[in-house]
Chain A
């Protein structure tokens, strides 16, 4: 970081205006140009003390103009600021070039420039030390995930608590078989890059294994073409594993449209016409969630839903028989598949939650005691905890 105070160089850039009515204001002082810390070398921070006429005499200073001089070129205006301004971040500089600045205080018909700063070159830093707490937290969490994945791979059974709703899956499939009506599976409306869709497809694999055994029909309308191909692969693999490859058909998974409400209109039509006995609504949903859940409810289907989008959970809870709330969707996916990576990730995330709970508990206790009894060292603990989890 380089910062230079005034160097005694004055630039005469006062514009030609009728001099009988010139309103001359005092210039800004203590103009400092400093390289912005921990960046890519693309920002220079300017700070100054506003004109004394801005501080003491209201209305005389109309604003400030920031000028930049690149190398030996002419000054260019890079910003016009309101009265009272005392800082500016120039984010349009290039690494490796030399810049100097001056700031003009503007009156109604004149401007008074400040002294120019010495040339400064923005520097790049490879590491943002201010975000070291984020790095440590990420390493702790990442390390926990990797540890548990390896533990699961070694064959150790990882405990995951019982998830309500999962026990109903087999009963729901059995119901559809007894009634001779199909099962409808809706994997949300996002694409394969969304983790909720991946979780839904993992659960689909488990469900279709049972469906193939019971010889029940399944329909899966999708709104993304990639999800269609992934869905077909998943169902086909399940039917093959169940020894029923002949029962599989590509028509089980159909692409409708990418448009949200066009997809909803089509799925509603399928629900009303096919009258499924069981509807699975698992994945990422948006405004269409209540429409789908209500329509499924109106045709008398048993509905098992799960999404990690908090805005849609209320509708599923109100209109569906069982709901996997938020992370329970991913837990269900891990629980059903038993896959080491998923189980390990789940347990690793629990480490993060444990850290958060501990931090909140200790932080709130120390904040309350520190404030009530004004104990300084306890207040330091509170501030420290807050800073560990903050970047602002």
Chain B
């Protein structure tokens, strides 16, 4: 390993410990690490956005003499410039046009994606016989059907949650809370994994204590 590799590992370790020190209390090391992280990330994203979007997607295609559709990126460029007009009060209203274009295009794309994959297909998959197969299957199917139905009842805003409807909404929120608890558990695993990664770096890569 060269000098700069070793320096990089020591620097990364110092920054890691500086950020983790926030668990104790806010301190000058944390503030320094925070400022370095914010500055570096802002610079990094600026470079990525410039080279991958502005240069690669716009400039190389718009100025390529062999590209038969060279004029298409210019359309996007004009819309991009119009968004910047938001910074100026007098002509700020122009920025609504590119925003409308983005929202409209994304809505059109997501129309099929979310409407079909996340709504219709899920309703279709929920239509199942509940009393079929083994006891485990019966419980599983009943849980899926009840949870989906009562969850929909909870998010129905046109009727107050009273009477039988309110009871179903209550069941729905119970299902939601149990799901959130399970999801929380999964996420705890995720967060622990990230911490394990840092520990592997500190005690393994830096200190060499882990095989």
A and B touch in the complex (CB under 8 A): yes
Q: Mask for B1-40, Cβ within 8 A of A = 1, else 0?
A: 0000000000000000001001000100011011001101
Whether B66 is near chain A, meaning CB under 8 Å from some CB there, is no
Q: Are B155 and A389 in contact (CB under 8 A)?
A: no
How many chain B residues touch the partner (CB < 8 A)? 58
How near does chain A come to B144, taking the closest CB pair, in angstroms?
10
Selected from B44, B121, B132, B184, the residue in CB contact (under 8 A) with A392 is B121
Selected from B34, B86, B131, the residue in CB contact (under 8 A) with A266 is B34
Say whether, besides A193-B103, A360-B145, A361-B149, A273 and B26 are in contact (CB < 8 Å). yes
Interface window among B53-61, B67-75, B110-118, B198-206: B110-118
Q: Mask for B120-134, Cβ within 8 A of A = 1, else 0?
A: 110110111111100
The bracket for how many chain A residues form the interface is: 35 or more
A272 / chain B contacts, CB cutoff of 8 Å:
26
Selected from B30, B111, B116, B180, the residue in CB contact (under 8 A) with A313 is B180
Interface of B is mostly: helix
How many pairs of A and B residues are in contact by the CB < 8 Å rule? 162
- A192 to B86 alpha-carbon distance, docked (Å): 12
How near does chain B come to A69, taking the closest CB pair, in angstroms?
27
Whether A385 is near chain B, meaning CB under 8 Å from some CB there, is yes
Interface window among A37-45, A79-87, A364-372: A364-372
Q: Are A269 and B34 in contact (CB under 8 A)?
A: yes
Q: List 10 A-B contacts (CB under 8 A).
A: A161-B158, A256-B38, A259-B41, A265-B33, A290-B191, A317-B177, A350-B158, A360-B123, A364-B145, A367-B127
Known: A257-B45, A353-B155, A357-B152. 15 other contacts (CB 8 A): A134-B116, A160-B158, A162-B160, A229-B86, A258-B42, A258-B45, A259-B37, A268-B22, A269-B31, A347-B158, A354-B156, A360-B148, A363-B127, A364-B129, A389-B127
Chain A residues in the interface with B (C-beta under 8 A)? 133-134, 137-138, 159-162, 192-193, 226, 229-230, 256-259, 261-263, 265-266, 268-269, 272-273, 290, 310-311, 313-315, 317-318, 325-328, 331, 346-347, 350, 352-354, 356-357, 359-361, 363-364, 367-368, 370-372, 382, 385-392
